[in-house]
Amino acid sequence: MQTRWDDNDQYGHINNVTYLSYIDTVITLWQIEQGMDLGGDAGMRFLVVESGCTYHAEARFPDTLHAGIRVGKLGNSSARFEVGLFRNDDETACVEGFFVHVAVDAETRPMRIPEPERSKIEAILAS
């Protein structure tokens, strides 16, 4: 993804909270590519219950960020999506972040992640 001029903060690098937006976008795009229903029309949706980032190096506009995604942990109703963001051609991530998603029903009660979503998530489960 292309960084934007307004992603920079007064220190001249990408603002910390902007990385969470990038990571959320990476996970959501992956879910869309997998054909997952994000609107809850199928009676299930994912809610974020935890997120975080570890920063290793600065990125700034006009850097291009490349993302790698995996699932670090898969439970009955939850999945921890982990994303590495790589600046330009760097081989080491400048940021590592995660979002924990919980599958919930229409009343927002946790539920078992249904098939075929579970098998799609298992496909990127870290060993």
- Compute the average pLDDT of residues 22-40: 92
pLDDT of amino acid 72: 98
Confidence of residue 123 (pLDDT cuts 50, 70, 90): very high
What span, in angstroms and rounded, lies between the C-alpha atoms of 10 and 13? 8
* 6 has pLDDT over 90: yes
| Cα–Cα distance, 42 to 103 (Å, whole number) | 12
Say how far residue 64 (Cα) sits from the centre of its chain.
17
pLDDT band for position 53 (cuts 50, 70, 90): very high
| Short-list 111, 98, 103, CA closest to 27 | 98
What is the model's pLDDT at position 84?
98
Question: How confident is residue 79, by pLDDT bands cut at 50, 70 and 90?
Answer: very high
The tokens for 95 are 């940021």
Residue-averaged pLDDT of the chain: 95
- Which structural domains are found in the chain, ordered by start? 5-122 (3.10.129.10)
Mention every residue, 6+ apart, whose C-beta is less than 8 A from residue 88.
63, 64
Determine the Cα angle at 107 with ends 75 and 36, to 5°: 55
Q: At 29, is the pLDDT very low, low, confident or very high (cuts 50, 70, 90)?
A: very high
- Beta strands in 36-94, from DSSP E residues, in sequence order: 45-55, 65-74, 78-87
Residue with token string 């229409």? 106
